[in-house]
Structure formats: C-alpha cells, structure tokens
Amino acid sequence: MSHDPAPRLPWAALFGLQGRTALIAGASSGIGRHIAGVYAAAGAQVVLAARRMDRLAEAVAQLRGQGHAAHGVALDVTRGETIAAAFDAAEQVAGAPVDILYNNAGIIYSKPFIEQDEAEIARVFDTNLKGAMLVAQEAARRMVRRRSGVIINIASSAGLRAGGTLSSYCASKAALVHLTHVMALELASKGIRVNAICPGNIATDMQEALKPFEETLVKRTPMRRFGQPDDLDGVSLLLAADAGRYITGAAIPVDGGQVLTWM
C-alpha cells in the first residue's frame, strides 16, 4: 500500500471548482440560491433545481448576467418521479454529469408538539428526509458508475440539539445527519464523499417562521447574531473541493456556537 502524499496544490486550486458540475436542490431562494452563486464564482457549472420555476429563472438569469455557466431544471423532491428526470435534464443542459450535489431543499413549521397535525408532519418529513434521501440516492447511483462525486446534505443545528416548537423539523434533520453517516460509510469505497452542513439561524426567508423567537435565539447564540448566507461559503467550498478530499461522514455546525449552549 502506497502512503505517498497527494500532490500539493495552490490554495486557489484546492478550493476551486473549475471543470465541475454542481446541482443545487432547493435553489430558487435562500441558502441554495446563494451557494449556486458561490459555486459558480469558484468555477463550477451550476444547475439550479427547484419547484418554483419563476424564481429559478430569475436566479439563473442573474448568474448568467454575471458571466457564469448556469442552468435551471424542475425538481420537486416530494415527487419521486421528478428526481431522475431532473438529473437527466441537468446532464443534458450541462453537457456533463453531476459531480457535486448540494442537497438543500427543506421546510420548517414552528408549532407546539401536540398541535402539529398529520399533514404538517408528513410534509416536513417528505421534504427534509425522504426527499433528501431520494435525491441523494439518484446522485449516488450515477456517481458510483464514475467512482467519483460529492454529496453535501444540508441538515441543521436543530438536528444536533432539541428546539422547542420544532419537533418535526428537529427529528427530520437529526435523521438526515444520521443518514449522512450511513451514506458516507457505504459510499467511501466507491469514491464518493458525503458530508452534512448543520446551519444555525441563517437570515433567509425560511427563518421567518422563527421571527417571534428571534430575540431569544440571538441571546442563546454565543456570537450574539443570526448568521448570513455567506457565513456558509467557506464550509460549502471546503466540502465540495479538493481541499476536503479526506473529509467524509462529517456533520459540521455553522451556528455561531449555538449548539454548544445545548450540550
């Protein structure tokens, strides 16, 4: 067995994504739309995937206006029959297979545990867990054939600790963290790295559900502020690029230290 070190690359190359194709699920707004821009700026060809095609078209047009290679495809992670079609469409418009999956689609309800109804519970799990799993499965099947690929699941610091009035959300994201571990274990020998990012309170439209608790949440965050989408840039590049080539099975909190206050 050889133990020769991998060739050293310049820092820009280590964190660059030139020549790669990234599919971002849940890219019509919030974190997904932001990271599509980050990956495009790092040199990747990006395929934005989501249900809301009007917002998707706007995001794609913005990226193209900045000189980036960007495309949009329809994807509803709660409808399994759309997933393979979305990957087929992504490969067709990009003219290349997907190297990086940024598995970001998610929803949240804030409601006391005993008041969440069956439809709300089902919708959260269908999107945050089952949908994420089905999208990752489709990506992995294609990546296995090439023995190369990166899957990044967007979980939450709420998957690492309990949060009141977020029972379905916390449970679904905790399951996604554990699913990430299982995926990483199974897929490492096939050349595929799988990791999870666990954002805390990031200022996006999804955060509106927690608006009544904002002051309390900020007080419980050691850095005393909500995160911004660009606080996720570094870890998103690290896990996608060659800089993170020996990282798999990690679940990295990006939450200003909030998870520490719940240990």
Q: Which residues are catalytic?
A: 169
| 3 state SS of 97 | coil
∠ CA 108-52-79, nearest 5°, is 70
| 3 state SS of 152 | strand
Helical H segments across the chain, by residue range: 11-14, 30-41, 53-65, 81-94, 118-125, 132-146, 167-187, 214-219, 233-240
Q: Answer yes or no: are the C-beta atoms of 222 and 256 closer than 8 Å.
A: yes
The DSSP annotation for 10-73 comes to -HHHHT--TT-EEEEES-SSHHHHHHHHHHHHTT-EEEEEES-HHHHHHHHHHHHHTT--EEEE
